[in-house]
């Protein structure tokens, strides 16, 4: 919590929001984290309750006798006692171990929930930055098209170009305005999505993180680490452990139990019988009800099949995670290669537009050539922005699958 407050103070002081601060805010405010944390605390309380079965219980009773005739019996009996469960057919031991496993499973579910929220926040953060950069490129393109339309009208007035060329350039300028309006709307949606993720309004500038270096990750080694460290797998393994204890607990009714009781009794006499007697009794009780093995047998078989169902789910989960890892890794490799191509394409598109603009001004190129060059530049900028953030998104997905940081940022 102190780290979150520090992040908030820094954000307010600098009037900016970094990716790390956004994730901290999301983890501090998201209801899913609170739900998972509450489930873990509930499992912790149930574990404490299972431990309580091994603690002694104490009690007291007092009995008063009012008789019509005097007798030699006591009139008031006071009793203090303590009971200790020595053995309960392995049921208490199995319940405790099951509670241990369940608590561990809930802890891993909490870790998985944090990883999910962190990934969702990263996506919202990158989508906002992508929408912001897209809008900036759209506005730049719109500004350039307006200038081209202005020049086209001047050329038309001077008789240097025809009406078709002028109207074509003016139409392209209007279409660039429509593209800008769409980008403005997309940015507003991305802003609302990010605000929902961090549970507070954006008050300042969203700071773009430094781009990661080209990744060189060994997929096989990464796969081994993922299957070993993934929280969902650990949680399911813990659930299987808890279910195994249910098999033991199912046989508990068919086993004997043993209880120890220590009691202190005080007897008071009156009506002619004097004296106060006290005594301490220790009682060891063995109980074997012999309910038969039919019901415990079927209960154990049911618990066994529940365990097998969880084991089958674990197998499917591992396969799904392996597929997630392969897909995320391939997407990252593709995004890195595509971004390299996009950088070269953007540079060529910028050079191409300058050449087309000069040729048009010199009346060597037509208006359609200029429009085509401008459209190519807009497409190149769009692809550059797309793959720049697609790399970051792919890396975030891969880190979520592996549930660890893969590149030093």
Q: pLDDT digit string (tens) for 110-159?
A: 999 999 999 999 999 999 999 999 998 888 888 888 887 887 788 788 87
Establish if 4 belongs to a structural domain.
no
Q: pLDDT at position 14, please?
A: 47
The answer to whether residues 193 and 127 touch, using CB atoms and an 8 Å cutoff, is yes
Establish if 282 belongs to a structural domain.
no
The answer to whether residues 117 and 33 touch, using CB atoms and an 8 Å cutoff, is yes
Q: pLDDT at position 267, please?
A: 78
Q: pLDDT at position 378, please?
A: 83
Closest CA to 214 of 119, 122, 125, 338: 338
Q: How many domains does the chain have?
A: 1
Of residues 213 and 16, more confidently modeled? 16
Q: pLDDT at position 79, please?
A: 85
Q: Which two tokens stand for residue 153?
A: 């009208």
State the CB neighbour count (10 A cutoff) for residue 123. Answer: 19
Q: pLDDT at position 110, please?
A: 95
pLDDT tens digits for 242-293?
999 988 888 887 778 888 888 888 877 765 555 567 888 888 888 777 666 7
Establish if 74 belongs to a structural domain.
no
Pairing assessment for the beta strands 205-206 and 16-17 based on DSSP bridges: parallel
Q: pLDDT at position 316, please?
A: 96
Assign 184 a pLDDT band (cuts: 50, 70, 90). very high
* DSSP state letter for 178: H
Q: pLDDT at position 216, please?
A: 62
Sequence-distant (6+) residues with CB within 8 A of 112 are: 36, 231, 232, 235
pLDDT tens digits for 185-239?
999 999 999 999 998 898 778 888 877 665 566 778 888 888 888 999 999 999 9
Residue 276, exposed/middle/buried by CB under 10 A (0-12, 13-18, 19+)? exposed
Establish if 327 belongs to a structural domain.
yes
How high is the mean pLDDT of the chain?
A: 84
Q: pLDDT at position 408, please?
A: 57
Question: Rounded to whole angstroms, how far apart are CA atoms 5 and 19?
Answer: 15
Establish if 331 belongs to a structural domain.
yes
Q: pLDDT at position 12, please?
A: 46
Length in residues, the chain: 409
Q: pLDDT at position 112, please?
A: 94
> CA-CA distances (angstroms) from residue 129 to 26, 123, 184, 197, 385?
17, 10, 13, 14, 9
Pairing assessment for the beta strands 57-64 and 76-88 based on DSSP bridges: antiparallel
Most confident among 35-39, 143-147, 169-173, 295-299 (mean pLDDT): 35-39
Question: Rounded to whole angstroms, how far apart are CA atoms 73 and 75?
Answer: 6
Q: pLDDT at position 66, please?
A: 66
Q: pLDDT at position 128, please?
A: 94
Radius of gyration of the chain from Cα atoms?
37
The residue whose two tokens read 């039919």 is 294
pLDDT tops 90 at residue 323: yes
Q: What is the mean pLDDT of residues 334-357?
A: 88
Establish if 12 belongs to a structural domain.
no
Q: pLDDT at position 188, please?
A: 95
Q: pLDDT at position 292, please?
A: 66
**Among 5-14, 96-105, 392-401, whose mean pLDDT is lowest?**
5-14
pLDDT tens digits for 307-320?
999 999 999 999 99
Q: pLDDT at position 219, please?
A: 78
pLDDT tops 60 at residue 13: no
Establish if 314 belongs to a structural domain.
yes
Of residues 46 and 258, more confidently modeled? 46
Q: Phi and psi (nearest 5°) for 113? A: -65, -40
Domain of 374 in residue numbering reads as 30-55+91-254+293-402
Sequence-distant (6+) residues with CB within 8 A of 152 are: 161, 165, 166, 169, 170, 367
Sequence-distant (6+) residues with CB within 8 A of 408 are: none
Q: pLDDT at position 1, please?
A: 47
pLDDT tops 90 at residue 6: no
DSSP line for 18-41: -HHHHHHHHHHH-HHHHHHHHHHH
- In SS3 terms, 196-246 reads as HHHCCCCCCEECCCCCCCCCCCCHHHHHHHHHHHCHHHHHHHHHHHHHHHH
Question: Rounded to whole angstroms, how far apart are CA atoms 105 and 227?
Answer: 16
Q: What is the mean pLDDT of residues 67-92?
A: 74
User: How large a percentage of the chain has pLDDT more than 70?
Assistant: 89
Return the CATH number at 158. Answer: 1.20.1600.10
Question: Rounded to whole angstroms, how far apart are CA atoms 363 and 361?
Answer: 5
Establish if 279 belongs to a structural domain.
no
pLDDT tens digits for 81-96?
888 887 777 888 888 9
Q: Nearest-5° angle of CA 252, CA 256, CA 257?
A: 90
Q: pLDDT at position 364, please?
A: 80
Assign 376 a pLDDT band (cuts: 50, 70, 90). confident
Q: pLDDT at position 192, please?
A: 94
């Amino acid at each position: 919590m102190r780290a979150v407050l520090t992040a908030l103070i820094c954000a307010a002081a600098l009037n900016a929001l970094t990716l790390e601060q956004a994730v901290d805010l999301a983890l501090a405010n998201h209801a899913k984290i609170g739900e998972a944390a509450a489930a873990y605390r509930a499992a912790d309380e149930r574990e404490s309750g299972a431990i309580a079965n091994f603690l002694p219980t104490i009690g007291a009773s007092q009995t008063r006798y009012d008789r019509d005739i005097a007798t030699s019996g006591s009139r008031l009996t006071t009793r203090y006692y303590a009971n200790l469960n020595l053995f309960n057919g392995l049921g208490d031991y199995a319940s405790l171990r099951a509670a241990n496993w369940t608590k561990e499973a809930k802890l891993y579910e909490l870790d998985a929930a944090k990883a999910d929220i962190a990934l969702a926040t990263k996506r919202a953060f990158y989508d906002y930055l992508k929408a912001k950069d897209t809008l900036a490129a759209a506005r730049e393109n719109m500004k350039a098209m307006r200038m081209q339309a202005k020049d086209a009208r001047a050329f038309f007035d001077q008789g240097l170009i025809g009406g078709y060329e002028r109207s074509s350039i003016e139409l392209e300028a209007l279409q660039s305005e429509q593209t800008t309006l769409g980008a403005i709307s997309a940015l507003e949606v991305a802003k609302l999505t990010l605000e929902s993720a961090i549970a507070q309004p954006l008050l300042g500038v969203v700071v773009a993180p430094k781009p990661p270096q080209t990744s060189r990750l060994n997929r096989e080694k990464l796969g081994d680490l993922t299957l070993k460290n993934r929280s969902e797998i650990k949680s399911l393994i813990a659930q299987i452990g808890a279910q195994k204890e249910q098999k033991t607990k199912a046989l508990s009714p068919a086993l004997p139990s043993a209880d120890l009781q220590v009691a202190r009794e005080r007897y008071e006499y009156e009506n002619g019988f004097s004296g106060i007697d006290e005594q301490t009794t220790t009682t060891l009780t063995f109980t074997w009800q012999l309910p038969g093995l039919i019901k415990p047998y079927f209960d154990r078989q049911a618990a066994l099949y529940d365990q097998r169902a969880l084991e089958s789910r674990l197998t499917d989960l591992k396969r799904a995670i392996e597929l997630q890892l392969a897909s995320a890794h391939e997407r990252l490799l593709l995004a890195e290669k595509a971004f390299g191509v996009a950088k070269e394409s953007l540079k060529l598109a910028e050079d191409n537009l300058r050449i087309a603009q000069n040729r048009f001004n010199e009346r060597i190129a037509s208006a359609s050539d200029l429009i085509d060059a401008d459209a190519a530049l807009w497409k190149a900028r769009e692809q550059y922005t797309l793959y720049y953030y697609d790399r970051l998104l792919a890396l975030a997905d891969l880190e979520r699958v592996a549930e660890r940081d893969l590149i030093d940022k």
